[in-house]
Amino acid sequence: MVSFVVPGRPVPAARMTQRGKWTSRARRSLAYQEAVAWAAKAAGVPVLSGPVCLTARFYLCGQRRGDLSNYLKAVEDGLQYAGVIPNDRQIVAYGGGTGIYPAANRKDERAEIVLSELPEAIPWLPAEAEDERYAEAQAFYDGDDY
């Protein structure tokens, strides 16, 4: 498990198209992803090659809040940019406490990141189990148990 802090106001990831990547919003988003990468490198985060659990707490001041999924995407892209994770598909779980929290003032705005390498990938449900579940559900709806 490794943790680090990205100081400053978190910036959500912006949707980028060919022309859209030159907007001020997109440039701020890319600059924040670079800040995440530098913070990870400065903290000495090793390259994580297996499945990863990401816990991210975003502390924001004021009433303006972004979309949590866009904040997470900005952090994931920053980690990939830093080379900490080769592909953000490695993030298979989010830790408890991941969310947006109030900051007392602008100086306290930050993102606290915790990365945990998982022992093995979360297994998908085997096909046989899916078939059994489907059969049980179908029997339930077709039968007198409804």
For residue range 23-76, what is the model confidence (pLDDT) as tens digits? Answer: 677 888 899 999 999 999 999 999 998 889 999 999 999 877 788 999 999 999
Q: Which residue has the higher pLDDT, 55 or 106?
A: 55
> How far apart are the C-alpha atoms of 123 and 130, rounded to whole Å?
13
> How far apart are the C-alpha atoms of 58 and 8, rounded to whole Å?
10
Answer yes or no: is pLDDT of 115 > 90: yes
Average pLDDT of span 114-122: 78
Which pTM value belongs to this model? Answer: 0.76
> How far apart are the C-alpha atoms of 78 and 110, rounded to whole Å?
15
Mean pLDDT for the chain? 83
